[in-house]
A and B are shown apart, each in its own frame.
Chain A
C-alpha cells in the first residue's frame, strides 16, 4: 500500500480544486465552458461561410453538411451583382462614417458642457439627454420624416447629418454620456492654468481637453459608425433608396435577384435563388464590418473600461 501523507493529499487537492480559483480542474472547466460558448457564438458564422461556397448539388446532397465539395465562387459573383456591391459599399461608407464623425464631435462638445459648467437646470437637462436614449425612433420618425420632406431632404445625407450635428443622432444620448464621464475624470487644474493665461473656454476645450479625450473619440466614432452602418428602419425612410446601404440591399435581396435573374421556366440548375447565394450575400454584407472589427477590436472590447462609463 502506498502511504500518502496528509500534506500530499492537501497539495493534490489544491492543485485540482484550488483555493482561489487557481485549481486545475476549475480552470479546465472555465476553459471548456468558454470554448463551448465560443462555438455557439460562431456557429452561424461557420454555417454561413460553408453554405456560401456550396453549389446546387451540394445543397441537395445529404452527405454534404459542413464541407462543400469545392469552393464554388459563382454564388459570390451573383451576390455581388445583385447587391451592386461596389457602389453600395461606397454609399454605405458615406452614410455611416460621415454622420458618425459629426455625431462624435457634437457629443464631445455637449458632454464637455455638461461635465464642466454650472448651468441652471442642469440635472433636468441631463436627465432629458438620457431619456433620448430610451425614446424609440419609431415615435419621432413620422414628424421627422414630414419635416425632412418639407425641406426636401429626403434621400439626402443631410437627413442624417443635421440631427447628428445637434446631438440627436442614433443613440446620441449614450455618446454624450461617454464624453460626460470621460471629461469629468480629467483634472481641472490644467484647464484652470490655461484660463489664467487668457485662453477662452473653446480654446481650452479644443487645445487641452480634446487631445486627452482621444480614446473617447475613437470609441464613440467606432460604435456610432457601426450603428449607423447597420441601421435599416430610418435608412429606408430618410435615404429613400437614393443612398443604398448593404443591410438594405440584403433586405431586398430576393426581389432584386428575381429581377436580375428571372426564374427559368425550364429550371436550369443554379439559375434560381438558393440558400447558398443568400448566404453569400449575407456574408458579403458583413465583410466590411468584419474587416473593421479585425483591426479595431481592442477598442470595442475595452471600450467600457477605457471611458469609465459605468462611473466610479
Chain B
C-alpha cells in the first residue's frame, strides 16, 4: 500500500516536471553535446544540408595557437571578470548596507539603483559608452595625468583604466546583487546587534564579526550570479567573436563551436575560483 502510494506520488510529480525533462534533453543536453561534437568537425552548410568532416583537435588548436584575436579576448575576459566581480559584489554590499539603515526615501533610492537592471540591453549600453556617457567627467583626466601605462605593467594598467572608465557600468550591473544582500540583511537578528553593542562592540566590529559571516552564503550566490551575467553579456568581446565565426565561411560553425566550448570551460574555471575563495574564507573562521 505504502509502496503503491509512493509510486503514484512519483508519477504525479513526473507529470509536473516531465515537460522540463523533455525540454532539457532537447534544448540543453543534446545541443551541448552536439556543439562538442561539431567542435571536432569542419562544418559547412550546403544546399543539401550540413556537411561535417572530422578534423580532430584542429579547431581547438587553431583557436588557441593561431587565432591571436580570440586568445587576447579570452585573456582580457578572464582578467576583467576576475577584477570586476569582487568590485561589483563589494559595491552591492556597501549600497545594501546603506539602504538597510532606517531612513526616509529608502524606496526612492532603491528604485533609482535598480532602474538599470530593467533598461540595460547591449545596444543601449554600447550607445551610451560610445558617447562617453558612462564615464564621469574628470575621471579620464585623472587617468591621463597619472600615466598608468608608463609606470605599471600593461595588463594591470589596462585593468585599472578599465575599472575607472567603466565605473558607471559597474554600478549598473549591481542591481540584483544589491537586492539579494538587502534581503539577507533584513533577516539578521536585531537583538544580536544590541547584545554586541552592550558588550562594547562598535558598528565596525559588529559588521566584521556578525554581519559578514551571516551573509557569506549570499556573497557566494552573488559572485556566481555576477560571473554568469558578465559572461553572457553581449558586449563581451569573446561572444562577439563566437558569433562572427559562426557566420564567417572562413571559420564556420565547427570553429565557432570550439570557441564556445573553450569559453564555457574558462567560465567554469572562473566560477570554481570564486566559489573556492569564498569557501576558503568560511573555513578559515
Complex CA distance for A108 and B264, rounded to whole angstroms: 29
Q: Give the number of chain A interface residues (Cβ < 8 Å).
A: 91
Name the B residues within 8 Å of A229 (CB-CB). Answer: 121
CB-CB under 8 A for A293 and B182, given A128-B24, A135-B28: no
* Residue A138 lies at the interface, judged by CB distance under 8 Å to chain B: yes
Which residue of B27, B118, B186, B232 contacts A289 across the interface (Cβ within 8 Å)? Answer: B118
* Residue A257 lies at the interface, judged by CB distance under 8 Å to chain B: no
Which residue of B9, B98, B194, B260 contacts A138 across the interface (Cβ within 8 Å)? Answer: B260
Name the B residues within 8 Å of A71 (CB-CB). Answer: none
Name the A residues within 8 Å of B128 (CB-CB). Answer: 44, 47-48, 282
* Residue A119 lies at the interface, judged by CB distance under 8 Å to chain B: yes
Are B23's CB and A167's CB within 8 A? yes
Which residue of B110, B232, B261 contacts A137 across the interface (Cβ within 8 Å)? Answer: B232
Are B112's CB and A41's CB within 8 A? yes
Name the B residues within 8 Å of A176 (CB-CB). Answer: 20
Which residue of B10, B113, B117, B194 contacts A117 across the interface (Cβ within 8 Å)? Answer: B10
Name the A residues within 8 Å of B27 (CB-CB). Answer: 140, 144, 162-163, 166, 168
Taking the closest CB of chain A, its distance from the CB of B49, in whole angstroms, is 8
Which residue of A47, A166, A285 contacts B23 across the interface (Cβ within 8 Å)? Answer: A166
Taking the closest CB of chain A, its distance from the CB of B232, in whole angstroms, is 5
Are B203's CB and A21's CB within 8 A? yes
Are B24's CB and A116's CB within 8 A? no
Q: Give the number of chain B interface residues (Cβ < 8 Å).
A: 92
**Cβ-closest chain A residue relative to B179:** A304
Complex CA distance for A30 and B136, rounded to whole angstroms: 21
CB-CB under 8 A for A37 and B260, given A119-B13, A143-B38: no
Interface residue stretch chosen among A2-10, A210-218, A247-255, A264-272 = A247-255
* A126-170 near B? 1/0 per residue, CB < 8 Å: 001100111111111111101100000000000000110111100
* Residue A226 lies at the interface, judged by CB distance under 8 Å to chain B: yes
Within 8 A of B (CB), among A45-103: 45, 47-48, 51
| Extra A-B contacts (11), CB below 8 Å, given A140-B27, A163-B27, A230-B121 | A37-B113, A106-B19, A125-B17, A125-B20, A135-B264, A142-B260, A230-B122, A250-B121, A279-B127, A282-B124, A298-B107
Can you give 10 contacting A-B residue pairs, CB < 8 Å?
A30-B101, A40-B168, A41-B168, A44-B134, A136-B263, A142-B31, A163-B23, A250-B127, A253-B127, A301-B114
Q: Which residues of B contact A (CB under 8 A)?
A: 6, 9-10, 12-17, 19-24, 26-28, 30-32, 34-35, 38, 50, 95, 98-99, 101-103, 107, 109-124, 126-128, 130-131, 133-134, 136, 167-168, 171-172, 179-180, 182-184, 186-187, 193-194, 197, 203, 218, 221, 224, 228, 231-232, 234, 239, 242-243, 246, 253, 256-257, 260-261, 263-264, 267-268, 271
